[in-house]
Amino acid sequence: MNVATILKSKGRAVATARADATLMDLSCKLAAKKIGAIVVIGEQGKIEGIMSERDVIRAIAEKGADALNWPVSDIMTRSVVTCHEAATLDELMEKMTQGRFRHMPVVDDNEALVGIISIGDVVKHHIAEVEMEVSAMRGYLATG
């Protein structure tokens, strides 16, 4: 299974924000959309960074509640690891485990944002894949 298959079932909508949005704006968006991360984009839709709920918590813990008035650009992670639609589930799991993050923006050949995959999506599809294998094995054993 690859990223394109996951995007087909979950859709391509990605929550985005501008780098000059405040941490408060971003927190409200995360809460309203019930998601864990937002991709920060520039004028031409170019990916400039990523902000997850962990970044918000860390900023408040280190700098106090005042951090909620800071712009996202002060806090966001700038070196964003992305993947293409052809990437496999295994490749995604490896990158997420290595980088210790739970969100992976998907880009096309022009580096334009075309979707996002969360660890929840990966686990869900991985379980479905394993269940299909088990059922195929059972069928094979029953007929063998």
Could you tell me if 92 and 85 are in contact, meaning their C-beta atoms sit under 8 angstroms apart? no
- Closest to ligand AMP by CB, 55 vs 121, is 55
Residues whose CB falls within 8 Å of the CB of residue 41, separated by 6 or more in sequence, listed in order: 16, 17, 18, 47, 48, 113
Q: What tokens appear for 63 in the block? A: 């700098």
Residue from 63, 102, 124, 126 in contact with ligand AMP (CB under 6 A): 102
The answer to whether residue 52 forms part of the interface with ligand AMP (CB under 6 A) is: yes
Q: Which is nearer to ligand AMP, 42 or 139 (CB)?
A: 42
Indicate the residue type of 89: L
Binding mask 13-32 for ligand AMP (x = CB under 6 A): --------------------
- Closest-by-Cβ residue to ligand AMP is 52
CA dihedral for 72, 79, 55, 37, sign (positive or negative): positive
Site for ligand AMP, rule CB under 6 A: 36-37, 50-55, 77, 80-81, 99, 101-104
